[in-house]
Structure 1
Amino acid sequence: MQASPEFRKQLAGYGLTTAEILYRMPDHPALLQSYIWQDYDLFPDFPQLKGFLDFWTRTLDGPLFRVTVGHCRLIKPAELKALGGEFRLH
């Protein structure tokens, strides 16, 4: 059994990134529409998100208004504590 590509990304330092993208409606520029984007990405450069936003500005008609980003590493280093002694019971 092999690990999933998402799990491999997490081991490589990727974390779950969620972005709320507010953009103006092409036909009604006074109105804002919300779009939620989520993928595994690297903090703080966010290459996946930047690639998606570049695609958006090149291809789609709705101009971006604001992008709010949340990021969390799902796999974190283990916390180790030194023990001062060892106790054995029977």
Structure 2
Amino acid sequence: MRDTTELELMLRGYGLTTAEILYRMPDHPGVLQTYLWQDYDLAPKFPVLNSFLEFWRAKLEGPLHSIRYTHKKLISPSEWRMVDGEILLH
């Protein structure tokens, strides 16, 4: 997916997903830390976010506490229309 441009992803239905991840500090489990994550993803299954969370659970030491996310499609099909014509200036 990384060799694809952002515009191509948006035209394929991807939207910008932002997640606020609260996790416990490994050395101090009573302390919560915030991590913000942002990438293009497909709603409603969010495969990119779920892949990142699986990586977090498998490789990082800070246990997850909670996740809040928002998703916004930046381009929708109704915003694109074919223009058949040409306007010449000067």
TM-score, normalised to structure 2's length? 0.81
> Structure 1: any 5+ residue segments left out of the alignment?
80-90
CA RMSD in angstroms, aligned pairs only: 1.1
**Following the alignment from structure 1 to structure 2, what is the Cα–Cα distance between the partners of residues 59 and 27?**
16
Measured against aligned partners, the alpha-carbon deviations of 1:2-60 in whole angstroms (never above 9, x if no partner) come to xx611100000000000000000000000000000000000000000000000000000
Question: How many residues are aligned here?
Answer: 76
Question: Match for residue 30 of structure 1?
Answer: 30
Identity %: 59
**Number of the residue aligned with 1:66:** 66
Structure 2: any 5+ residue segments left out of the alignment?
80-90
Return the index of the structure with the highest Cα Rg: 1
For residue 63 of structure 1, what is the amino acid of its counterpart? P
Q: Aligned partners of 2:11 and 2:51: how far apart in 1?
A: 22
> Which AA in structure 2 matches 1:12?
R
Q: TM-score by structure 1 length?
A: 0.81
